[in-house]
């Protein structure tokens, strides 16, 4: 919940401040890399030494380029063009999208906790969009 709130706040601030996409992406990804890479080298050096280089390259590509750069640029673009209440909710869908991709690409079957999380996210989104009106529930 904290991470979702932080990403939502970040998205709202991006729209408010109208920061250029490339500069803000470089600031976020560069700052993250400066912190994360040394910590990873210290805490996971033994694991990294025995991990195949192809697996490391795949993670660098997916986490660095796709997750770290492309997703941030896309979020910033969405924050500029979508209404604030919609763009602030976009980061919340990251686990749902990841679950969908894993299901299709890796033929992974979601477990109960993952399905429950997806249901909670979908319900919260529908509530934020006014799909569930309090009046409907109170008059029934």
Domain limits of the chain? 2-139
The whole-number average pLDDT for the span 6-28 is 73
C-alpha pair distances (Å), 41 with each of 8, 45, 58: 30, 5, 17
pLDDT of residue 86: 72
Question: How do residues 59-115 score in pLDDT, each as one tens digit?
Answer: 888 777 777 777 777 777 777 777 777 776 777 777 787 788 888 888 888 889 888
């Amino acid at each position: 919940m904290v991470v979702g709130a932080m990403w939502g706040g970040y998205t709202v601030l991006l729209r408010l401040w109208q920061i250029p996409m490339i500069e803000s992406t470089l600031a976020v990804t560069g700052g993250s890399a400066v912190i994360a890479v040394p910590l990873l080298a210290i805490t996971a050096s033994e694991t990294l030494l025995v991990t195949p280089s192809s697996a490391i390259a795949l993670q660098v590509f997916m986490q660095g380029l796709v997750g770290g750069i492309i997703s941030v640029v896309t979020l910033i673009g969405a924050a500029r063009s979508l209404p604030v209440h919609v763009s602030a909710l976009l980061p919340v869908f990251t686990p749902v999208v990841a679950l969908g991709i894993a299901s299709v690409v890796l033929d992974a079957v979601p477990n109960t906790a993952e399905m429950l999380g997806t249901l909670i996210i979908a319900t919260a989104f529908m509530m934020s969009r006014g799909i569930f009106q309090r009046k409907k529930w109170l008059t029934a």
